[in-house]
Structures are given as structure tokens and as C-alpha cells.
């Protein structure tokens, strides 16, 4: 039994002693060509790993400078104590695969390392600034898509342009310096956040921020800076001691910052760059003209069925996604929902196999190593339901086609708002509209018609025209009645 605490720390001097299956020996230390804002687990298990493999395949100076934006010196110090090295632990049904990643060369923490960050951003060797900062980090007005001028942090950055705190402020300050510098070359801004049309959304925010202080700079950014949209996919849970032990046994070094993930990964990128880029397509990324079809496929096929699984599972007593999909009637429901109700709403390039994508999703859901909790996926339903399910239902209605299983998903969310499972087990409702939704559900006392009538008035979720459609109300009422009379498991069985 290995004691992790007694092992030497993973550092670059240790690399020659590692076994060949842990990393490729054909490696030349790259100079830094990418700055990444938001150096969390997802980036380290996704884009950084793709970048490492691209350099192994085709070379290039694409070392990464990672930046924490919340003053997290602990993460910076832990990664730099290992000289940027860390392990990725892919957990699948057949065990764990450990890979040591070397692409991360530097980690900075804002605001402590502001001068170092802006020196790096001004370096003409840096050709890409990528981001995983979540939608909140964009400081975006949800109604207009412009920068949120009522955000106190944005107000600070507009008043103090040389000491920015926000993503728009940092990017605009760095791009001003690039425009005015000796080389005058922009960098590409590459959003990797789960936000529809993320590149276009970030471009609008950045340009609107710049326009507040310097309209000429805003025009230069709009003309010269590329903001490709991307679609990313990989399940990356939080790190636990289990990963540290797994890595210790694999490499016989201590890694305090390993990253767990599933074997599956996907990265679709619009091929629009202001300068160079790694050969990501050589290692499985898809470089495309338009990312929109891929975004929609993920949103409806993956996210839509994930939410369906979550709400039916919360009612039916399944704690994790793998436990739910192991239940044969549930698996049949989800597979049929994807095949007959969701896939027909999608128009994909000829090279994209929707049936294979469906089967890959079912395999991912069944991965027993991840233990993806249904309660976590069930959070924030009022924000998730419209793009994941309502839009698909609207497309089915527009095509004059049935949507029985999609209606069951909406009905399950409505019943979920009662706050208890079919067996009476209680749980918390975590949602921005939680208080209002719980009040409406409680007032209806679980009666299907009353519950439907009450919740269809929530305009943040249900557009007025959809809520009034007789065919939508009829399908939803039928699904609610099934859940009311037979419970989630019985309703699922009734739709076989």
C-alpha cells in the first residue's frame, strides 16, 4: 500500500523516470502561445489535453499560461509547486487511465499577478486567449447581449481601465495594448464555455465594453479580432482523494492536483483565427464552418435527456444517472425519446451520425465510475428547461409531430417542484425561482390540472403562445395524470 504523503512531488525533473504509457517521450518544452482565463478542472481535462496532444502530433509553441480570476493563490501555488504538471484520470467501466499533462507552463492569480498577466498578453508569441469562466464571467446583460453596465465590477473597470477585474475589462485592456504595441497584432479570443454561440456572445460583450471608452478601439476589435464559437463536452467531476491515490499508484509520485473525467470528449471549433493555432484537428477536434448544429445536438440530445433523467429519477428514487439508465424501462424511454422525438428536429452535416451520437450518450450515462448525481443536474430547472426541452417541443409542434416523452419530461419537472419523491422522500429545490415555483406547486396540492395551470403562467419558462396551445396542454395534462396515478416508474413503464 503506497502512502501518498511519503512520495516525492511530481515535477518536471521526474518526467524521464515515468513509464512510457503515462506520457509520450517525444516532447520538447514549448514556449507559451496560449493564455487561458479560468484554469479549472474542465480546462485541464479538455482543452489543455487536446493542446498537449496537438503539439505531440504537429509541434508548435502552444504552452499554456493558466489564470485564476478569483484571487485563488492556493490553486496557483499548488500547480506551480509541480511546475505546471498534473495528471488526468479517465474513469470508465473498465478502470482508470492516467496521463501526465505537460502543456501548462505557468499559472497566475488575479489580481496578485496583474503585471505578469499583461506582460504575457502583450507578448506577440501569445496568439490565443481562451476562456472557461462560466456565463456569469461574461458580465453580460441577458436582455441585450451587451456588457452589463449596472454590474459594479464593470463600473470599476470602466473607471479604472488599467486595473481591470472582469473578463471584458481584461480583454479590452490587453487588446488596446496589442493594437498600440510595436507589432499591432491581435490575438484570437476562444470561448470554451457552455453558452450558445459563445464566440459571438463574447464578441458583443467585449465590443460594447470597449465602445464605452474608446469607439475606435471597439471598431478595431470588431474588424481584426477573431472570436470563434466552440462546443465542448466532457464530464469532469471535482477532484477527490481517490484520484490522488490512483495517480500515486500509477506514477509513484505525489500529485496534489489531479483531474478526474470520463473517457468521452468532444470539441467543435469554428475555424476562424486571427493568427496561428495548434493542430487540434489532428487529435480529434472538429474544425467547422458553423458550430450551431453541433451546439443544438448537444443541447437537445444530451442536455435535454439529462434533465429528463434527473427529474424522473428524483421522483422515482434513482440517485445517480448510471443507476437510472441501468433501469431497462428508463433506458428504453430515453433511447426512444432521442430517436423519435429529438433527432428529427436536428439538421446535421452528412458526416455526423446522430444514431452513433445517441448510442455514445447512452454509454456515457451508464458509466458507473462517475456517479453523476441526479440532484445536481436537477438544479436551476427554470433556466435549463426552455433551451433543453421547450424549444424541442416547439419544433415538434411546428412539424405536426407527437412529443409524448418530451411532455413527460416537463411534467416530471412540474411534479418535482412538490419537493418530495413518489415515496415521500423530501429534497430541496435549488432554483433562482425556487420560492415562487414551490408556492405555485404547493397551492396546486399535486392535482394535475391545477399544477399545470399554475406553472404554465411562469413566463420565464413557458412562452404565452406555447402555454395556450391546446395540443401542448393536452399532452402535458396526460403526462401529469400518468405521474399522479402511477408514479414516475409506472409512467415510464406505461410509455414502453
Better pLDDT: 47 or 28:
47
Alpha-carbon dihedral 294, 297, 303, 306, rounded to 10 degrees: -130
Q: How many CA atoms lie within 13 A of 341 on its CB side?
A: 24
User: pLDDT digit string (tens) for 60-96?
Assistant: 999 999 999 988 899 999 999 999 999 999 999 889 9
Residues 6+ apart with CB under 8 A from 168: 138, 139, 147, 154, 157, 205, 206, 209
Does the pLDDT of residue 110 top 80, yes or no? yes
The topology (CATH level 3) of 4-288 is: Rossmann fold (3.40.50)
432: nearest Cα among 411, 458, 456: 458
User: pLDDT digit string (tens) for 385-441?
Assistant: 999 999 999 999 999 999 999 999 999 999 999 999 999 999 999 998 999 999 999
Mean predicted confidence (pLDDT) in 473-485: 97
- Bridge partners, residue 89, by sequence: 98, 260
pLDDT band at 25 (very low <50, low <70, confident <90, very high): low
What percent of the chain shows pLDDT beyond 90? Answer: 89
pLDDT confidence of residue 133? 94
The pLDDT mean for the chain works out to: 94
Q: Where are the domains of the chain?
A: 4-288, 292-494
- Bridge partners, residue 106, by sequence: 65
Does the pLDDT of residue 357 top 90, yes or no? yes
On the question of a common fold for 4-288 and 292-494, the answer reads no
User: pLDDT digit string (tens) for 259-297?
Assistant: 999 999 999 999 999 999 999 999 999 999 999 999 999
pLDDT confidence of residue 1? 55
Q: Which three cell numbers stand for residue 110?
A: 488575479
The values of phi and psi at residue 219, to 5°, are: -65, -40
Mean predicted confidence (pLDDT) in 108-115: 96
H, E, C per residue of the chain:
CCCHHHCCECCHHHHHHCCHHHCCCCCCCCCEEEEEECCCHHHHHCHHHHHHHHHHHHCCCCEEEEEECCCCHHHHHHHHHCCCCEEEEEEECCEEEEEEECCEEEEEECCCCHHHHHHHHHCCCCCEEEECCCHHHHCECCCCCCECCCCHHHHHHHHCCCCCCCHHHHHHHHHHHHHHCCCCCCCEEEECCCCCCHHHHHHHHHHHHHHHHCHHHHHHHHHHCCCCCEEEECCCCCCCHHHHHHHHHHHCCECCCCEEECCCCEEEEECCCCCCCCCHHHHCCEEECCCHHHHHHHHHHHHHHHHHHHHHHHHHCCCEHHHHHHCHHHHHHHHHHHHHHHHHHCCCCCCCCHHHHHHHHHHHHCCCCCCCEHHHHCCCHHHHHHHHHHHHHHHHHHCCCCCHHHHHHHHHHHHHCCCECCCCCECCCCCCCHHHHHHHHHHHCCCHHHHHHHHCCCCCCCCHHHHHCHHHHHHHHHHHHHHHHHHHHHHHHHCC
pLDDT band at 106 (very low <50, low <70, confident <90, very high): very high
Does the pLDDT of residue 471 top 70, yes or no? yes
Mean predicted confidence (pLDDT) in 189-205: 95
pLDDT confidence of residue 196? 87
Longest CA–CA separation in the chain, Å: 72
Better pLDDT: 300 or 21:
300
Residue range 292-494, CATH number: 1.10.1040.10
Does the pLDDT of residue 371 top 90, yes or no? no
172: nearest Cα among 134, 198, 203: 203
Q: Which three cell numbers stand for residue 201?
A: 456572445
Angle at 459 between CA 454 and CA 461, to 5 degrees: 90
pTM over 0.75: yes
pLDDT confidence of residue 446? 80
pLDDT confidence of residue 237? 86
pLDDT band at 490 (very low <50, low <70, confident <90, very high): very high
For 76-97, letters b (16+ CB in 10 Å) and e give beebbebbbbbbbbbbbeeebe
Better pLDDT: 466 or 372:
466
* Cα–Cα distances in angstroms (integers) from residue 429 to residues 188, 262, 308, 322, 379, in the given order: 40, 28, 16, 22, 7
CB distance 477 to 489 below 8 Å: no
pLDDT band at 452 (very low <50, low <70, confident <90, very high): very high
User: pLDDT digit string (tens) for 142-194?
Assistant: 889 999 999 999 999 999 999 999 999 999 999 999 999 878 899 999 999 98
What percent of the chain shows pLDDT beyond 70? Answer: 98
Amino acid at each position: 500500500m503506497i502512502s501518498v504523503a511519503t512520495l516525492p512531488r511530481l515535477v518536471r525533473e521526474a518526467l524521464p523516470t515515468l513509464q512510457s504509457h503515462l506520457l509520450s517521450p517525444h516532447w520538447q518544452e514549448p514556449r507559451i502561445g496560449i493564455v487561458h482565463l479560468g484554469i479549472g478542472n474542465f480546462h485541464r481535462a479538455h482543452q489543455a489535453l487536446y493542446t498537449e496532444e496537438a503539439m505531440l502530433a504537429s509541434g508548435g509553441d502552444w504552452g499554456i499560461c493558466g489564470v485564476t480570476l478569483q484571487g485563488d493563490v492556493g490553486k496557483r501555488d499548488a500547480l506551480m509547486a509541480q511546475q505546471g504538471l498534473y495528471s488526468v484520470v479517465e474513469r470508465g467501466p473498465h478502470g482508470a487511465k492516467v496521463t501526465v499533462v505537460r502543456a501548462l507552463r505557468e499559472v497566475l492569480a488575479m489580481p496578485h499577478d496583474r503585471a505578469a498577466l499583461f506582460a504575457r498578453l502583450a507578448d506577440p508569441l501569445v496568439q490565443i486567449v481562451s476562456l472557461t469562466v462560466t456565463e456569469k464571467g461574461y458580465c453580460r446583460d441577458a436582455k441585450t447581449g451587451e456588457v452589463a453596465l449596472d454590474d459594479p465590477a464593470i463600473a470599476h473597470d470602466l473607471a479604472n481601465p488599467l486595473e481591470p477585474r472582469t473578463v471584458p475589462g481584461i480583454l479590452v485592456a490587453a487588446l488596446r495594448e496589442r493594437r498600440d504595441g510595436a507589432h499591432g497584432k491581435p490575438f484570437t479570443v476562444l470561448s470554451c464555455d457552455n453558452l450558445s454561440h459563445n464566440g459571438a456572445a463574447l464578441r458583443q460583450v467585449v465590443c460594447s465594453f470597449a465602445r464605452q471608452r474608446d469607439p475606435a478601439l471597439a471598431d478595431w476589435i470588431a474588424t481584426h479580432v477573431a472570436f470563434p464559437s466552440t462546443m465542448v463536452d466532457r464530464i469532469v467531476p471535482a477532484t477527490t482523494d481517490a484520484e490522488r491515490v490512483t495517480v500515486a499508484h500509477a506514477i509513484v509520485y505525489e500529485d496534489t492536483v489531479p483531474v478526474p473525467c470520463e473517457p468521452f470528449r468532444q470539441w467543435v471549433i469554428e475555424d476562424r483565427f486571427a493568427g496561428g493555432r495548434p493542430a487540434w484537428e489532428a487529435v480529434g477536434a472538429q474544425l467547422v464552418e458553423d458550430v450551431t448544429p453541433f451546439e443544438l445536438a448537444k443541447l437537445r440530445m444530451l442536455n435535454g435527456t439529462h434533465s429528463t433523467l434527473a427529474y424522473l429519477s428524483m421522483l422515482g428514487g434513482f440517485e445517480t444517472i448510471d443507476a437510472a439508465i441501468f433501469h431497462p424501462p428508463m433506458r428504453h424511454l430515453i433511447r426512444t425519446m432521442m430517436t423519435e422525438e429529438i433527432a428529427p428536429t436536428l439538421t446535421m452535416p452528412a458526416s455526423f451520425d446522430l444514431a452513433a451520437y445517441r448510442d455514445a450518450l447512452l454509454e456515457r450515462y451508464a458509466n458507473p465510475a462517475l456517479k453523476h448525481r441526479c440532484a445536481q443536474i436537477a438544479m436551476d430547472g427554470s433556466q435549463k428547461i426552455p433551451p433543453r426541452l421547450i424549444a424541442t417541443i416547439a419544433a415538434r409542434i411546428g412539424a405536426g409531430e407527437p412529443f409524448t416523452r418530451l411532455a413527460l419530461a416537463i411534467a416530471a419537472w412540474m411534479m418535482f417542484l412538490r419537493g418530495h419523491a413518489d415515496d415521500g422522500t423530501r429534497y430541496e429545490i435549488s432554483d433562482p425561482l425556487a420560492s415562487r415555483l414551490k408556492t405555485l406547486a404547493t397551492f396546486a396540492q399535486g392535482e394535475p390540472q391545477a399544477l399545470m395551470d399554475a406553472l404554465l403562467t411562469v413566463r420565464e419558462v413557458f412562452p404565452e403562445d406555447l402555454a395556450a396551445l391546446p395540443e401542448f396542454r393536452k399532452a402535458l395534462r396526460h403526462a401529469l395524470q400518468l405521474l399522479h396515478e402511477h408514479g414516475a416508474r409506472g409512467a415510464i413503464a406505461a410509455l414502453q
